[in-house]
Chains A and B, each alone.
Chain A
Amino acid sequence: MNATRTALRAWIAAMLILCSVGARAPAEVRSEVPSSELTPVLTPAPGQTKVHVDAFRLDPRPVTNSQFLQFVRNQPQWRRDRVARLVADEGYLSHWAAADALGPNAQPNQPVTRVSWFAAQAYCESEQARLPSWYEWEYAAAADATRRDARADPAWRESILGWYSRPSSKALPDIGGAPNAYGVRDLNNLVWEWVDDFNALMVASDSREQGDPDLLKFCGAGAISLQEKENYAVLMRIAMLSALKAADTTNNMGFRCAKPE
């Protein structure tokens, strides 16, 4: 039995090595986003309008189907037929042709979608990275091609809002839109994206009435309010993220990874 086990271990090890060699493209250099003060759409605290964001590095593109396929091959516990329901719902990677094959509905260069927050986290961890925080994402996404904060420009806001009217049944374009001022692409007009603290974006709009039993649902959350109310695009992102559970997947929710500077 011992000899068999040794042989088995050797076989498994060999398979693992075979699987991890080749196929993997060299990781793209993450774009550098310098530290700054951000005026987020969601007030950080009562009476406070700004938040400090430390310098960080962000993937210039969302993670693609082919990158995620490689991850699933390296870490088979994330195959759709092996993953625990706790960390990924029934829709997880359901548009792939098979548990380890992309097929016609999942092109290699399309952003991967139908991934849960847990799966996105595990992917970034496998890259020695993490998901960006909401503030990091909001900060990077405030830039257009030339300005670091284009949010006050009505034309810019319009262009982002245009994306939201795109029917979600339409096939997703490939990654590789125009870079913004940091060299980051596809933030505002390709997919929704998970962030590390997606379940921190509490909007306590259901606690408007005095004596509402829901008032106690969020400890102290009555104090949180929205500023930059005209920034609908970002507000919709917040509403989307705060409505999701960590195991949820949707056909237009993807992610990218970040790293501290």
Chain B
Amino acid sequence: MKRLLPLFAMFLLLGSARAATPLPGDSVYNLPVQLTDQDGRRQTLAERRGRPQLVTMFYTSCQMVCPMIIDSLRLTRNALDPATRARIDLLAVSFDPAKDDVATLKSYAQKRKLDPRIWTLARAEPAQVRQLSGVLGLQYRQLPDGEFNHSSELILLDADGRIAARTTRIGKLDPEFVEAIRKVVAQPQS
């Protein structure tokens, strides 16, 4: 038993050296979330590590603020210089996995002309949606008529999935948020 312990420690060290640099403890990529995008591709949230992300949550049947959330994401991206723009991805995860299946996400993306090379619209299982909203600090509740109340925010994740900035300004550009994106993208990769 005593002789096994150093071996066990070595095993742990070898294991961690083989993996990539460990995730920071406050990275949202510590949360196991299985996403399925508008093309039916499955990806874990953590697989998005490596590039900064602009993240939001929405649902496609939303008539009120959600179209403006998508507009705000687009507006924010367009405000970036081309070099910065090329180094970030956009991710919008649905509050409403029951209605937002792959086909619904796909037709929404087409209707709103959201280029799949830039935009990922995704769904996850309900329990994981609640957990994701928890780590992102977003609130939502489903109403009896199927609509949702929810907080509307854009969130910037750095390349390791740490929340670097957020804005509640929806419908018009938030210059401070744009500046925060520039700074995060300009950071040397860890």
Residues of A within 8 A of B (CB): 4-5, 7-8, 11, 44-45, 48, 51, 84-87, 117-118, 121, 196-197, 199-202, 213-214, 216-221, 223-224, 242, 245-247
Q: Could you list 17 further interchain pairs (A-B, Cβ under 8 angstroms) beyond the known A7-B4, A8-B4?
A: A8-B7, A8-B11, A11-B8, A45-B143, A51-B144, A85-B26, A87-B31, A200-B141, A217-B152, A217-B153, A217-B168, A218-B152, A219-B64, A219-B152, A246-B134, A246-B135, A246-B137
Residue of A nearest to B147 (CB): A220
For chain B residues 143-166, which have a beta carbon within 8 Å of chain A? Answer: 143-145, 147-153
Are B28 and A220 closer than 8 Å at their CB atoms?
Answer: no
Shortest CB-to-CB span from B136 to chain A, Å, is 9
A149 to B1, CA, bound (A): 59
Nearest to B132 among chain A residues (CB) is A246
The size bracket of the interface on B is 35 or more
- Our pick among B11, B138, B142, B143 for the contact of A199 (Cβ within 8 Å) is B138
- Establish whether residues B145 and A45, one from each chain, have CB atoms under 8 Å apart when the complex forms: yes
Q: How far is the CA of A196 from the CA of B145 in the complex (A)?
A: 21
Complex CA–CA separation, A38 to B14 (angstroms): 56
Q: How far is the CA of A118 from the CA of B30 in the complex (A)?
A: 12
Contacts of B150 in A (CB 8 A): 218-219
Question: Does B60 touch A at the CB level, under 8 Å?
Answer: no
B7 neighbours in A (Cβ, 8 Å): 4, 8
Using CB atoms, name the residue of chain B closest to A223: B149
Whole-angstrom distance between the alpha carbons of A20 and B168 in the complex? 46
Hey, which chain B residues are within 8 Å of A86, CB to CB? Answer: 25-28, 30-31, 135
Interface residues in chain B, defined as those with a beta carbon under 8 Å from any beta carbon in chain A: 1, 4, 7-8, 11, 23, 25-28, 30-31, 62, 64-66, 68, 130-131, 133-135, 137-145, 147-153, 168-171
Bound CA span A117–B4, Å: 37
Contact of A11 among B4, B66, B147 (CB under 8 A): B4
- In the complex, A11 Cα to B66 Cα: how many Å? 53
Q: Is B133 a contact partner of A199 (Cβ separation < 8 A)?
A: yes
- Please give the distance in Å from B34's CB to the nearest CB on chain A: 16
Q: A216 touching B139 by the CB < 8 A rule? A: no
Min distance, Cβ B124 to any Cβ of chain A, angstroms: 15
Which residues of chain B are within 8 angstroms of A196 by Cβ–Cβ distance?
A: 130
Q: Are A216 and B170 in contact (CB under 8 A)?
A: yes
B6 CB to nearest A CB, Å:
11
Which residue of the partner chain A has the closest CB to B69?
A219
**Residues of the A chain whose Cβ atoms lie less than 8 Å from the Cβ of B142:** 200
Contacts of A218 in B (CB 8 A): 139, 149-152
Using Cβ atoms and an 8 Å threshold, which residues of chain A touch B137? 245-246
* CB-based nearest B residue for A199: B139
Could you say which residues of chain B place their CB within 8 Å of the CB of A197? 130, 141
Rounded to whole Å, the gap between the CB of A258 and the closest CB of chain B is: 14
* Cβ of A47 to closest chain B Cβ, rounded Å: 10
Point out the residues of chain A lying under 8 angstroms from B62, CB to CB: 219
Q: Are A219 and B66 neighbours in the complex by a CB distance under 8 Å?
A: yes
CA gap between A247 and B136 in the complex, in Å: 11
A8-B11, A217-B152 known; A200-B140 Cβ under 8 A? yes
Bound CA–CA A118/B25 (angstroms): 14
Give every chain A residue within 8 A of B169 (Cβ-Cβ).
213
Contact B30 A87 (CB under 8 A): yes
**Which of A8, A84, A245 has a CB less than 8 Å from the CB of B134?**
A245
Chain B residues lying within 8 Å of A246, measured Cβ to Cβ, are 131, 134-135, 137
Query: A86 — nearest CB in chain B belongs to which residue?
Result: B30
Tell me which residues across on chain B come within 8 A of A7, comparing CB atoms. Answer: 4
From A5, A11, A85, A118, give the contact of B131 (CB < 8 A): A118
Chain A hits for B11, CB < 8 A: 4-5, 8
Question: Which residue from chain A places its CB closest to the CB of B161 in the assembled complex?
Answer: A86
- Min CB distance, A123 to chain B, in Å? 14
Q: A221 to chain B: which residues have CB within 8 Å?
A: 149
